[in-house]
Structure 1
């Protein structure tokens, strides 16, 4: 996911359409110091903007205006004549001593006491639950959503680069952004039409996808899922607005008085409604805030229009600008309904004004609202059939009727442009390269080779290990898939392999049959909650950089057959049978146990029956094939698993029962960042050897690995009953941003706490004949950490301390581990 965005940077297309008036420049005082957050508006209109932290602004309109008005508290309002295209204005404002007597200003802040803008803001808080669809028991509407990505800052130098040789025609259709004034080239559009229904009494909501159309990535579900994850819905009336996994303080938030300055600057009729105009801007730099203005009705105190520009100094990576605007329709004298929601993001590695990057734009439009038509509870329990292929092949007549906003000439050109580009050999090579980097697979006809990132590995048993594999691929929504691999270790001179297949026999209930076989060398005991994944292999099994030995590996031969069903959205059942044999892969390690006759056995043979219930409430996915991709990440994952050891089946050794429970979720904690929580517990009933026990997962690498214990080695603790808690909180630079030196580095704070309790029965201790001495963390093992992330924007460094069992032999009481990651 972290690499999908960069794949878009290599694609290209485009038309030149100029608005009537385009102006830009900078607002300064008499000392030529920039004036941030000054109000700039076309005279005789409500079209305006607010200068940024450096006093710079850009404004355009399709109508012809000849004058602008520039104002800021404490300065004289200035009007001046402008040309149709004037992007280098330098506007000087003079201090106004009379205004300073009327409005109390200190240290760049506006006092809240006696401020008419604050009085209006308090009315908005009172009325926010009495606006829009909240006024009705039931509601429904049609929603049209358009997602678009464009290359920006297109210039002659870029057009002449060798990479575009043979593809120069893509520059025939370059447009100019109405928000920033930069030239751009559309490269991707996704259009979707939804029917949305809601019941405010029961708090139920249903949204049916009825039409979908892509340009450029019809078969690339990874890219589409990533794009949709970037642009989740938000509500301006909430205290915090989630964008790119960050919590921005809403200008309409109740905590806004501590975060923003507000000023009442104008009043006017908008759609025959008298409205007030309030300008707002942040009190401090470096925080996740906006600047802009909004128009609010004088009687309902419902917002009619709002513009939000993200604070440029906010600690957010890879993005230069974020702009949001919303418009509301007047249904009657008291009901304001969302009509249009527009969001633009400027993605770029550099933050200089001329740095080239990419725009991500989402336009959402709403119409045909209906109210108080009760659909009944059964209606919300049912789900629309997203497998209906007609959704994805709507003709142009359908789109002409259902687009609530017509595509511009350059947007329409995207569909035609890609058809042409797809025939250009150089373009094919570029897209192939970025697909490899993004997915890890090399694409051939109906077959993907990879993942290439698993080609090489190393451990003490296999030495250098090479691996080659692949999967069938027919576009991403196929009902079946085969995949497999082969590997070879140069030290143990052995060939390993894995092969699996899955087939969806019922699309409506997502009934999937799957099975496979794997013979490989594996580091078992690296997860408390175990699975029977045929092709899974832990990072610990082939890490290049480790501490201590990596010879406690196991030769595993695993076969299974599973049936999975999802009769209700996000409720999944899985059941099946598996058979495995386990034996040591190294002479320095063994899994020996005493059998019922007291003889020592070195190999475990075990058949199991497995049943799993998984709940993932609020999870959103994309695609309808046998495999899907997640759209969002903030859903809870709850897993309950029951396993029964089947003695004597296929000469199986042990009769036992195992229960497992797993819960994971991440939470956005307002302006305090995000919290990751994981809880696991389990118990084994019956006698089992080391290979079937619950081993507390250690981490002998130099990297941070989720759900492992950084200061434990493999097999330090062995249990048959356990409970563990993992907490990790990311503050997103909340504290570092207040330290003068550190705030420039954009470092971010992260803290963690991990603990585990466990026990092991005397019976399981008694049958142990391995060289591993069993010890369970009956006094609770825990470790805690503090770290710095966002170092060079991609690196994280954690400092970890052991809080208990510090006197164990060879105990690691302190450690430093790192990790790489792409985060906004």
Structure 2
């Protein structure tokens, strides 16, 4: 009883104190002013010992050695004044009672300048009330008829500098890394200090191009004039991929694709539903009048940006735009993104880019300002612009094609004349040379390559030079035939630009006590046009019931037939002894044409549980071992895909793109003992669609038909997935060979809302979860001839009435900045389930898909 009374008394005391605080706090906040930030000079360096004072008061502070300050008063103040010896003072108007992260730049010898601090509006104005909306209407009306497209012809020089490095470093870390050389680079590092931390570059790449365009014949020619790179990433793969994180985008588009996420453009025609707009200034420059408009996301977690743009009052051409993500933007492993674009307005109809800056700051565990991270900074300068001086048509048709990595490398003499003045390239390059061989820095880049590729270099061990072990995620798998399967794989690797690459592996099953293996090799025959040739031999168990189109020109053996944990039984494996070869020709970028040949012997890996006999109706013979020789043509078109590299294996960026595949296969009876004569035609179409600010819709269609009578190993069963993980283009609530077809049409639809829905639900928005919807269907038939030709323990079933799976998913599950997990909740339509146990009508599947 005493304890109850004590608890009750404490409860009421806490409640009363809480109520009292709620009563006093608003009054207290209303009658106070807080401002904090940093004072810098016009070079961006911190200004220590600057004076910051509330105007018309004696209340003030002095900035610290890093230029930082924090000023507080119990009274209301609308202005602060900042001054420092040798610099012009600035008077700054405060828009809010509490102002944080204010950056004050002092300059020498200039008149007093008033800086307006613009904060995010607390309430949304209607279109009629907001003068910025009229300006936006002018931008939308005129955006389609401006730019270099209005000139007859154009040419300019484009100088790109990409820098990758580690940021948020302190002096202790730098002294450990640089050792005795720290003193030599101390001044350079001090120039790179920001918010009390240092950044250290580890890789830099420069590229100079000449661009020529002719709008009368709609032709453009791009010549690389020079390039160079320095640093640890030039021998790796993972970091090189990171430097290509940004794609070019037109600021007038309704959405920007950044890190494969569709951000709503502040200039979008439907941007008013996403942004607050504040028209704040009218500027005069070069005899033109401009408006400055600030924009802020209405919901900070949405895929939107904050910043400002300057627009011409007459033509509504954008003069410049600066934008960045907010600290709450629903992105993983990203502390911040920043974009800046500046334009030259030639006249009322022509404008062109003058300068671009793109920055990204990546972290792993959290977005905390003190966590070490990886940054990318791209600076692009445009110069030597020439308008309306077209060249001969033949000039634009001639292309200088890059055939190898160092083709356009120039010496120091060239770069001393060409270097962007503001980029401070020479100091950065010297620093990179120093840290390139540092063990700690190399460890970071090595780990990035291991995670990005799945391979581990063996150069440090005897007989391991030029070899890599991998992929490590295929070391262990399981199925009902092999029980526990162990695999060791290797590939040759001297550099990412190798003309020759070979793969080989060995696997052993505890259950069947059989050794399996595979060996492949491929070689780059020609750089221009690009031609590769490869061949492989594989003796292994394959799961032919979980995919439809096989790429016979890919010799990496990255099979997906097994998993660590499966549901149901998986005896449905085929033992394949397969010899294959292919020659691939690339006539144009992102178009691949492959001619292939395959010779294989196939049989069931476990006839007791998976009996597949074929009865030849012509000669009344029955086969349980099949011999098949086929050849064919595979055409693949991937418009917009980011392709780079000059070796036998090119690399691909993360930019989303369409995919179109057409494959024709001809089975030749009698050739090398082949038993089957058939024709197979298959089509695949993948198309991601940005749906305004509602997210991304991924659509995939597969269709195919077989002409002829063939065994089960050549038919096209509906792809099933018996693992508990999510596998694209498969059906999670089907078992292998539930549906067996010779004609099929499948569709897969998956819409990712990217937080659009859950960001708007109170409390749920704190979790940073994202939602998605999906649906997929399968349609198929099989001819009576193919039904009659089979003697098997499977009952042939086809989805002639359409089979559906549908549901929703929750992704971005995790902690802090690491959120790779996804859960799908799946339902299916009913069907005549005749093979094995009846499948459930509902299931939950998961995946680990690290993404931004």
Question: Is the structural similarity TM-score above 0.5?
Answer: yes
Cα distance between partner residues in 1 of 2:99 and 2:654? 35
Question: 1:547: which partner in 2?
Answer: 567
Question: 1:102: which partner in 2?
Answer: none
Q: 1:335 to 1:688 in 2, by over 3 A?
A: closer
Question: 2:199: which partner in 1?
Answer: 184
Cα distance between partner residues in 2 of 1:775 and 1:650? 33
User: Any conservation in 1 of the 2:167–2:200 contact (CA below 8 Å)?
Assistant: yes
Tell me the secondary structure at the aligned position of residue 279 of structure 1: strand
Question: 2:670: which partner in 1?
Answer: 648
After TM superposition, give the deviation of residue 454 of structure 1 in Å.
Answer: 1.7
Corresponding position: 1:696 with 2:696 = no
Cα distance between partner residues in 1 of 2:73 and 2:742? 72
Corresponding position: 1:722 with 2:744 = yes
Question: 1:494: which partner in 2?
Answer: 514
Corresponding position: 1:796 with 2:822 = yes
**1:664-675 → structure 2 map (5 Å cutoff):** 664-675=686-697
Question: 1:485: which partner in 2?
Answer: 505
Question: 2:523: which partner in 1?
Answer: 503
**1:741-760 → structure 2 map (5 Å cutoff):** 741-760=763-782
After TM superposition, give the deviation of residue 582 of structure 1 in Å.
Answer: 0.6
User: Any conservation in 1 of the 2:259–2:655 contact (CA below 8 Å)?
Assistant: no
After TM superposition, give the deviation of residue 401 of structure 1 in Å.
Answer: 3.2
Q: TM-score, length-normalised on structure 2?
A: 0.83
Cα distance between partner residues in 1 of 2:771 and 2:689? 16
Question: 1:513: which partner in 2?
Answer: 533
Cα distance between partner residues in 2 of 1:219 and 1:52? 52
Note the alpha carbon deviations across 1:324-369, whole angstroms, 9 max, x for none.
2222224357643210111222222312232332322111111122
Aligned to 2:402, which of 380, 383, 386? Answer: 386
**1:596-675 → structure 2 map (5 Å cutoff):** 596-675=618-697
User: Any conservation in 1 of the 2:751–2:772 contact (CA below 8 Å)?
Assistant: yes
Question: 2:101: which partner in 1?
Answer: 56
User: Any conservation in 1 of the 2:239–2:449 contact (CA below 8 Å)?
Assistant: no
After TM superposition, give the deviation of residue 62 of structure 1 in Å.
Answer: 6.9
Which stretch has the larger CA shift, 249-258 or 647-656?
A: 249-258
Question: 2:306: which partner in 1?
Answer: 291
Q: 1:605 to 1:662 in 2, by over 3 A?
A: same
Question: 1:358: which partner in 2?
Answer: 374
Which stretch has the larger CA shift, 761-770 or 205-214?
A: 205-214
Question: 1:594: which partner in 2?
Answer: 615
**1:219-298 → structure 2 map (5 Å cutoff):** 219-228=235-244, 230-298=245-313
Question: 2:846: which partner in 1?
Answer: 818
Question: 1:574: which partner in 2?
Answer: 594
After TM superposition, give the deviation of residue 373 of structure 1 in Å.
Answer: 4.3
User: Any conservation in 2 of the 1:523–1:538 contact (CA below 8 Å)?
Assistant: no
Question: 1:446: which partner in 2?
Answer: 466
After TM superposition, give the deviation of residue 61 of structure 1 in Å.
Answer: 6.4
Tell me the secondary structure at the aligned position of residue 144 of structure 1: strand
Cα distance between partner residues in 2 of 1:29 and 1:314? 32
Question: 2:29: which partner in 1?
Answer: none
| Paired positions, count | 768
After TM superposition, give the deviation of residue 271 of structure 1 in Å.
Answer: 4.3
Q: 1:549 to 1:685 in 2, by over 3 A?
A: same
Aligned to 2:352, which of 337, 344, 360? Answer: 337
Question: 2:60: which partner in 1?
Answer: none
Q: 1:395 to 1:271 in 2, by over 3 A?
A: farther
Note the alpha carbon deviations across 1:746-776, whole angstroms, 9 max, x for none.
1111111111111111111111012111111
Tell me the secondary structure at the aligned position of residue 109 of structure 1: coil
Cα distance between partner residues in 1 of 2:98 and 2:741? 58
**1:113-262 → structure 2 map (5 Å cutoff):** 113-159=128-174, 172=186, 173-175=188-190, 182-200=197-215, 205-216=220-231, 217-228=233-244, 230-262=245-277
Tell me the secondary structure at the aligned position of residue 702 of structure 1: coil
Corresponding position: 1:19 with 2:45 = yes
Note the alpha carbon deviations across 1:456-477, whole angstroms, 9 max, x for none.
2222222222222222223222
Question: 1:469: which partner in 2?
Answer: 489
User: Any conservation in 2 of the 1:522–1:538 contact (CA below 8 Å)?
Assistant: no
Q: TM-score, length-normalised on structure 1?
A: 0.86
Aligned-residue CA RMSD (Å) = 3.4
Q: 1:582 to 1:198 in 2, by over 3 A?
A: same
After TM superposition, give the deviation of residue 114 of structure 1 in Å.
Answer: 4.6
User: Any conservation in 2 of the 1:25–1:56 contact (CA below 8 Å)?
Assistant: no
After TM superposition, give the deviation of residue 178 of structure 1 in Å.
Answer: 8.6
Query: For structure 2, which runs of at least 5 residues remain unmatched after alignment?
Result: 1-42, 48-65, 80-86, 460-464
Question: 2:419: which partner in 1?
Answer: 403
Larger Rg: 1 or 2? 2
Question: 2:805: which partner in 1?
Answer: 783
After TM superposition, give the deviation of residue 422 of structure 1 in Å.
Answer: 4.8
User: Any conservation in 1 of the 2:247–2:655 contact (CA below 8 Å)?
Assistant: no
User: Any conservation in 2 of the 1:26–1:56 contact (CA below 8 Å)?
Assistant: no
Cα distance between partner residues in 1 of 2:179 and 2:562? 43
**1:67-146 → structure 2 map (5 Å cutoff):** 69=114, 71=116, 107-146=122-161
Cα distance between partner residues in 1 of 2:452 and 2:99? 36
Q: 1:619 to 1:206 in 2, by over 3 A?
A: farther
**1:701-712 → structure 2 map (5 Å cutoff):** 701-712=723-734
Tell me the secondary structure at the aligned position of residue 487 of structure 2: strand
Question: 2:35: which partner in 1?
Answer: none
Q: 1:780 to 1:501 in 2, by over 3 A?
A: same
Cα distance between partner residues in 2 of 1:711 and 1:354? 46
Tell me the secondary structure at the aligned position of residue 312 of structure 1: coil
Tell me the secondary structure at the aligned position of residue 792 of structure 2: coil
Note the alpha carbon deviations across 1:218-277, whole angstroms, 9 max, x for none.
23244323321x111112222222222222222222223333333332233334543332
Tell me the secondary structure at the aligned position of residue 407 of structure 2: helix
Q: 1:521 to 1:141 in 2, by over 3 A?
A: same
Tell me the secondary structure at the aligned position of residue 592 of structure 1: strand
User: Any conservation in 1 of the 2:302–2:756 contact (CA below 8 Å)?
Assistant: yes
User: Any conservation in 1 of the 2:539–2:576 contact (CA below 8 Å)?
Assistant: yes
User: Any conservation in 2 of the 1:759–1:776 contact (CA below 8 Å)?
Assistant: yes
After TM superposition, give the deviation of residue 417 of structure 1 in Å.
Answer: 4.1
Query: For structure 1, which runs of at least 5 residues remain unmatched after alignment?
Result: 1-16, 36-41, 76-104
Tell me the secondary structure at the aligned position of residue 805 of structure 1: coil
Q: 1:63 to 1:506 in 2, by over 3 A?
A: farther
Q: 1:335 to 1:533 in 2, by over 3 A?
A: closer
After TM superposition, give the deviation of residue 676 of structure 1 in Å.
Answer: 1.2
Cα distance between partner residues in 1 of 2:732 and 2:335? 36
User: Any conservation in 2 of the 1:516–1:534 contact (CA below 8 Å)?
Assistant: no
Cα distance between partner residues in 1 of 2:666 and 2:426? 58
User: Any conservation in 2 of the 1:500–1:534 contact (CA below 8 Å)?
Assistant: no
User: Any conservation in 2 of the 1:499–1:534 contact (CA below 8 Å)?
Assistant: no
Tell me the secondary structure at the aligned position of residue 467 of structure 1: strand
After TM superposition, give the deviation of residue 126 of structure 1 in Å.
Answer: 2.9
Tell me the secondary structure at the aligned position of residue 706 of structure 2: strand
Note the alpha carbon deviations across 1:780-813, whole angstroms, 9 max, x for none.
1111120000011110000011024176561221
Q: 1:130 to 1:322 in 2, by over 3 A?
A: same
